[in-house]
Amino acid sequence: GYSVGEVKPSRTPARREIGHGALAERAILPILPDKEHFPYTIRVISEVLESNGSTSMASTCGSTLSLMDAGVPIKAPIAGVAMGLIKEGDKFAILTDIQGIEDFLGDMDFKVTGSKKGISALQMDIKIQGITLEIMKIALEQAKIARLHILEKMLEVLPKPRTELSKWAPRILTLKVDISNISTIIGPGGKMIRRITEETGAKIDIEDDGTVLIASPDTDKAFKAKKWIQGLVEKVQPGAIYSGKVMRVGPIGAFVEILPNKEGLVHISQLQDKRTERVEDVVKVGDVIAVRVREIDERGRLSLTMRGITKEEAEKVLAE
Residues of the chain with pLDDT under 70: 1-4
Domain end among 130, 157, 184: 157
For residue 228, the domain's CATH number is 3.30.1370.10
Q: Are residues 14 and 143 in the same domain?
A: yes
- Encode pLDDT of 159-171 as tens digits: 999 998 877 788 8
**Is the torsion defined by CA of 182, 184, 185, 190 positive or negative?**
positive
Q: Are residues 47 and 146 in the same domain?
A: yes
Domain end among 157, 189, 213: 157
Q: Are residues 33 and 86 in the same domain?
A: yes
The reported pLDDT for the residue numbered 1 is 57
- Three-state secondary structure call for residue 219: helix
Domain total of the chain = 3
Domain membership of residue 163 (yes or no) is no
Q: Are residues 299 and 282 in the same domain?
A: yes
For residue 283, the domain's CATH number is 2.40.50.140
Interior CA angle at 41 toward 36 and 47, to 5°?
140
Helices (H), the chain: 15-28, 55-69, 100-105, 133-157, 182-186, 191-200, 219-233, 311-319
Domain membership of residue 162 (yes or no) is no
Domain membership of residue 40 (yes or no) is yes
Q: Are residues 136 and 8 in the same domain?
A: yes
Which residues neighbour 121 within 8 Å (Cβ) at sequence distance 6 or greater?
23, 26, 27, 80, 111, 112, 113, 114
Q: Are residues 8 and 153 in the same domain?
A: yes
Q: Are residues 113 and 85 in the same domain?
A: yes
Q: Are residues 229 and 211 in the same domain?
A: yes
Domain membership of residue 139 (yes or no) is yes
The reported pLDDT for the residue numbered 3 is 62
Q: Contact, 77 vs 37, CB < 8 A?
A: no
Domain end among 108, 133, 157: 157
The reported pLDDT for the residue numbered 36 is 79
Q: Are residues 140 and 49 in the same domain?
A: yes
Q: Contact, 44 vs 63, CB < 8 A?
A: yes
Domain membership of residue 57 (yes or no) is yes
- Three-state secondary structure call for residue 258: strand
Q: Are residues 60 and 134 in the same domain?
A: yes
The reported pLDDT for the residue numbered 96 is 96
The reported pLDDT for the residue numbered 303 is 94
Q: Contact, 146 vs 96, CB < 8 A?
A: yes
Rg (CA), the chain: 31
Q: Are residues 187 and 221 in the same domain?
A: yes
- Residues of the domain holding 310: 241-319
Q: Are residues 112 and 140 in the same domain?
A: yes
- Encode pLDDT of 40-81 as tens digits: 889 999 988 877 889 999 999 999 999 999 999 999 999 999
Domain membership of residue 276 (yes or no) is yes
The reported pLDDT for the residue numbered 2 is 59
Predicted TM-score (pTM) of this structure: 0.66
The reported pLDDT for the residue numbered 226 is 93
Domain membership of residue 96 (yes or no) is yes
